[in-house]
Amino acid sequence: MVFRSEFPDVAVVDLPIHEAVLGAAAKYGDRPALIDGVTGETTSYAQLADAVERVAAGLAETGVRRGDVVALFSPNSTAYPMAYYGATRAGATVTTVSSFATPADLAGQLRDSGARWLVTVSRFLPTARAAAELLAEQGRPLAETVVLDGAEGHRSLADLLAATGPAPEVAIDPGEDIAVLPYSSGTTGLPKGVMLTHRSIATNLSQCDALYRPAEGERVLAVLPFFHIYGLAALLNQPLRCGATVVVLPRFDLEQFCRTVQEHRVQALVVAPPIALALARHPVVEQYDLSSVEYLLCAAAPLDHELADACARRLGLPHLLQGYGMTELSPVTHVVSPREGDPSPGSVGRMVPSTELRIAALDGSDGDLGPGEPGELLIRGPQVMKGYFGRPSETAAVVDAEGWLHTGDVGFVDERGYLYIVDRVKELIKYKGYQVAPAELEAVLLGHPQITDAAVIGVPDAEGTECPKAFVVRAPGSDLTAEEVTGYVAGQVAPYKKVRLVEFVDTVPKSAAGKILRRELRAREAGRAAAR
């Protein structure tokens, strides 16, 4: 059967994302749009809208034109949305880059996306310069690197804001032009650029209104990274579209997080499971007044039901809210509404409007499954991505001819229409909400001269967090240690991608076609866990 949203369909929103989000900025005027959670500096809606126009003009002066790709490599700050919306206003596609990217990571994304402009901050400038050198060696130099907070020899945000010319007149096609190109490992394999059009993102925001829409003036704490589609959508696009106030922190530090909630009387928390865990268990939480919090929404990775209840009790909330989506879905399909008094415990909520869901049997048999039957989730709706950038075959493997996106996630729908996520078909590891591709780590491992074969899977640690574990075949005569393996990988990847556990094996199980049989490794780990 096909499950359909219980809410009326919404109209497709054919607006550029900066207009969909900031179109009502004039109405909100002097209301605070952004507050720097560290300095207390406030940016009003009128100031933000003007900054976006000026940044667009400044980028146009550097040569940015419609269809160009601008890479945004920065931690959270009040400057981030100015750069993001300013770039889209100039007609560019923005590829958001992880703050944890190494020079090789950054160079790879710049090269793959075709980005020729890089916007960063002084703290990240060594990484940016190293990446730019790698590109130049390959004959693909950057046009310019803008350093938001200023650096000698580079244009700054202040320079962009000082542009004297008008913002460019750009004819954006919302249904075709790509607003943002985040990178995701998808269901399997290496990171790929996910083409999200202005229409798909703007329409998804409208779809969310039926279940989740921050109130005007509501104070939302933004600590999840804006480079991640979850942070970009839930902590910039949606609250700014609704006239809320976004209190911005550059990174998660529990004491700073709690102090900011107390000082700014934050009402809404949008987090990932590691933050929910800290709020539930860390004693420092008791030192702060968090009574202003009216709801907490958690997504990006599975959240244990008991942990969710413990966190809710600690914050004095009736329950925590959860949501479901993925980068390829712009990103939301399901969410528990703050207005719901009795959501199904442990679920990720009900389906947003204009969305359809099928549940396919895991054994490949024909026919869709019904309520209570777990299978792979297939989603169709206006929020489905345009495709993977430059990868038509990989796009076709995920989005079928009828427009159904095969998520690789396993779940079921209860009789009330609430979705539960119970497992994953895909090989992707989710470490604290970040995506880690086993194939990427295996490629790094195989670069070591004393490693002849390797496989990586996710295994739970003592707190239930999925961590990358490497199964390594040493070269004959090698006395390579686990510490040397983890150190080798750590030197080449972002911190969240590090291998956390190593086991030396004689062989890696593979199919006749040479594909690593990760399910056998998972079964082995499960057997050990059951025996303990």
Same domain, 47 and 10: no
Give the single-character DSSP code of 233. I
Same domain, 3 and 37: no
Identify the domain containing residue 507 by its residue range. 429-531
Single out the residue in 153, 171, 189 at which a domain terminates: 171
Same domain, 113 and 156: yes
CB count within 10 Å of CB 337 equals 18
- Per-residue pLDDT band for 499 (boundaries 50, 70, 90) equals very high
Q: Which of 106-120, 130-144, 323-337, 445-459 has the lowest mean pLDDT?
A: 445-459
Is the CB of residue 446 less than 8 Å from the CB of residue 466?
no
For residue 389, what pLDDT is reported? Answer: 98
Give the pLDDT mean for 181-196. 84
Domain presence at residue 245: yes
Same domain, 6 and 22: no
Give the pLDDT mean for 493-521. 86
For residue 187, what pLDDT is reported? Answer: 58
* Residue of higher predicted confidence among 113 and 187: 113
Give the pLDDT mean for 248-262. 97
- Indicate the residue type of 21: V
- Measured distance CA(144)–CA(166) in Å, rounded: 21
Same domain, 262 and 389: yes
- Per-residue pLDDT band for 439 (boundaries 50, 70, 90) equals confident
- Helix or strand or coil: residue 172? coil
Please say if the pLDDT value at position 50 is more than 80.
Answer: yes
CATH number at residue 104: 3.40.50.980
For residue 350, what pLDDT is reported? Answer: 98
Please state, for a pLDDT cut of 90, what percent of the chain lies above it. Answer: 83
- Per-residue pLDDT band for 511 (boundaries 50, 70, 90) equals low
- Measured distance CA(298)–CA(315) in Å, rounded: 14
Please say if the pLDDT value at position 513 is more than 60.
Answer: no
For residue 326, what pLDDT is reported? Answer: 94
For residue 512, what pLDDT is reported? Answer: 52
Annotate 118-142 with b (16+ C-beta within 10 A) or e (fewer).
Answer: bbbbeebbebbeebbebbeeeeeeb
φ, ψ of residue 366 in degrees (nearest 5): -70, 160
Contacts 24+ apart (CB under 8 A), 176-179: 177/16, 177/66, 177/67, 177/91, 177/93, 178/93, 178/386, 178/389, 179/16, 179/17, 179/88, 179/93, 179/94
Q: Which of 116-125, 429-438, 498-507 has the lowest mean pLDDT?
A: 429-438
Q: What is the pLDDT of residues 4-41, one digit of tens each?
A: 999 999 999 999 999 999 999 999 999 999 999 999 99
E-assigned strand segments in 80-168? 93-96, 117-120, 144-147
For residue 94, what pLDDT is reported? Answer: 98
For residue 189, what pLDDT is reported? Answer: 67
Please state, for a pLDDT cut of 70, what percent of the chain lies above it. Answer: 98
Domain presence at residue 365: yes
- Helix or strand or coil: residue 461? coil
- Per-residue pLDDT band for 514 (boundaries 50, 70, 90) equals low
Same domain, 450 and 337: no
- Measured distance CA(6)–CA(393) in Å, rounded: 34
* Residue of higher predicted confidence among 519 and 504: 504
- Per-residue pLDDT band for 529 (boundaries 50, 70, 90) equals confident
CATH number at residue 502: 3.30.300.30
Same domain, 242 and 388: yes
Same domain, 156 and 243: no
CA 357 from chain centre, in angstroms, equals 22
Domain presence at residue 188: no
Q: Is 372 left (phi over 0), alpha (psi -120 to 50) or beta?
A: left
Is the CB of residue 435 less than 8 Å from the CB of residue 185?
yes
Q: How far is CA 9 from CA 206, 210, 323, 348, 384, in A?
A: 10, 10, 19, 20, 15
Single out the residue in 403, 426, 449 at which a domain terminates: 426
Give the pLDDT mean for 496-521. 85
**Domains: count for the chain:** 3
Domain presence at residue 469: yes
- Per-residue pLDDT band for 186 (boundaries 50, 70, 90) equals low
For residue 443, what pLDDT is reported? Answer: 84
Same domain, 93 and 132: yes
Q: Which of 123-127, 245-249, 463-467 has the lowest mean pLDDT?
A: 463-467
Domain presence at residue 400: yes
Please say if the pLDDT value at position 263 is more than 80.
Answer: yes
Same domain, 434 and 360: no
For residue 274, what pLDDT is reported? Answer: 84
* Residue of higher predicted confidence among 530 and 270: 270
Please say if the pLDDT value at position 526 is more than 90.
Answer: no
pTM as predicted: 0.86
Please say if the pLDDT value at position 428 is more than 90.
Answer: no
Domain presence at residue 185: no
Please say if the pLDDT value at position 44 is more than 60.
Answer: yes
Same domain, 233 and 320: yes
Q: What is the pLDDT of residues 81-131, one digit of tens each?
A: 999 999 999 999 999 999 999 999 999 999 999 999 999 999 999 999 999
Helix axis angle for 273-281 and 305-315, nearest 10°, is 60
Same domain, 258 and 338: yes
CATH number at residue 420: 3.40.50.12780
Average pLDDT, the chain: 94
